[in-house]
Amino acid sequence: MESRMPLLGEKIEDRKLKTTHGVVNFPGDYRGKWVVLFSHPADFTPVCTTEFVAFQKRIDEFKALNCELIGLSIDQVFAHIKWVEWIKEKLGVEITFPIIADDMGEVAKSFGMISPAKGTNTIRAVFVIDPEGVLRLILYYPQEIGRNIDEIIRAVKALQTSDANKVAIPAGWPNNELIGDKVIIPPASDVKNASERPKQFECFDWWFCYKKL
C-alpha cells in the first residue's frame, strides 16, 4: 500500500478489516451513512483515553447526523478489547463503536497515518467520509494534542448543510463573527449575476453575499 495522505474527493477503496465488532467491509458496510474514521497512537495511553471517552459521550450527536464512528490503531484486537474493558471498569464509560485492529499497519500506511518522526505509531488523524464513500474532510493532530470532538461534529454538520443547500459555510459557523448562523452564497458566475446579487441577498459586496437558511 502507498503511504500518503489521501486526497479530498477520492472514493475510499473497500477493504476487509478486523475490528472489536468483528470483520467489517470498510467503508462498504457504511454506505448511506456518514463516517468519522479516526486513528489514535496507542491503546492504554492517557490522551487517547480522554478522546475515546469524549467521542462516546457525544455518540448520540453523531448518530443524529446519520454518522458512525470507527477508531483505529496498530494495536492488536485483544489489546483494543482489554482497553475498552478497562475504560468501562475504571471510568464507567462503555465504548460502543468499533475499533479497527490494524496490527500490520496496512490501513495506516494507505491513509498516510504513519509519521516517520514518531516511529510506527499512528498519528491522530480524522477522516470524514460521506454516504457515497467519498473522503470529504481530513484533520491531523500531533500525538501530544487531543482532538476537539465538538469541532468534528460541527464539521460534519457543516458538510451536510453545504451539500443540502449548495452553499459555503463561514468560519466558526453557526457562530461566525460577521454573519452569525447565516451561510455564504456561491460566487457569481457572470457579470449580470454579480450585479443582481445585492438585490437578492444580504451582501457586503457582490462577491460576499449571504442568507439565512
Would 133 be classed as within a structural domain?
yes
Note the pLDDT of residue 187: 87
Would 3 be classed as within a structural domain?
no
Measured distance CA(172)–CA(21) in Å, rounded: 35
CB 156 within 8 A of CB 34: yes
If asked whether residues 42 and 91 sit together in one domain, one would say: yes
Peptide bond into 198 cis (omega under 30): no
Measured distance CA(125)–CA(103) in Å, rounded: 17
If asked whether residues 61 and 118 sit together in one domain, one would say: yes
Question: Last residue of a domain, which of 113, 147, 181?
Answer: 147
Measured distance CA(197)–CA(208) in Å, rounded: 9
If asked whether residues 22 and 101 sit together in one domain, one would say: yes
If asked whether residues 143 and 198 sit together in one domain, one would say: no
139 - beta bridge partners? 126
Would 194 be classed as within a structural domain?
yes
Per the structure block, which three cell numbers stand in for 5? 495522505
Q: How many domains does the chain have?
A: 2
Percent helix, percent strand, percent coil in the chain, to nearest 5: 35, 25, 40
Annotation marks residue 48 as catalytic = yes
Would 6 be classed as within a structural domain?
no
Neighbours of 171 (CB within 10 A): 9
Q: What are the CA-CA distances from residue 188 to residues 33, 65, 169, 181, 185 (Å)? A: 32, 31, 16, 21, 9
Neighbours of 13 (CB within 10 A): 12
Note the pLDDT of residue 119: 62
Question: Last residue of a domain, which of 92, 114, 147?
Answer: 147
If asked whether residues 130 and 207 sit together in one domain, one would say: no
Measured distance CA(165)–CA(145) in Å, rounded: 34
Would 159 be classed as within a structural domain?
no
Would 5 be classed as within a structural domain?
no
CB 102 within 8 A of CB 64: no
If asked whether residues 24 and 103 sit together in one domain, one would say: yes
| Domain interval for residue 184 | 166-213
Would 185 be classed as within a structural domain?
yes
Which of 48, 67, 203, 209 does the annotation list as catalytic?
A: 48
Give me the CATH number covering residue 24. 3.40.30.10
Going residue by residue through the chain, which has 213 residues, state the pLDDT in tens, using 9 for 90 and above: 445 678 999 999 999 999 999 999 999 999 999 999 999 999 999 999 999 999 999 999 999 999 999 999 989 999 999 999 999 999 999 999 999 998 888 888 888 887 666 666 788 999 999 999 999 999 999 888 999 999 999 999 999 999 999 999 999 999 999 999 999 999 898 999 999 999 999 999 999 999 999
Give me the CATH number covering residue 178. 3.30.1020.10
137 - beta bridge partners? 128
Rounded to a whole number, what is the distance in angstroms from the first to the last CA of the chain? 43
Q: What are the CA-CA distances from residue 11 to residues 113, 122, 133 (Å)? A: 17, 22, 6
Would 156 be classed as within a structural domain?
no
If asked whether residues 96 and 188 sit together in one domain, one would say: no
Measured distance CA(144)–CA(48) in Å, rounded: 10
If asked whether residues 132 and 37 sit together in one domain, one would say: yes
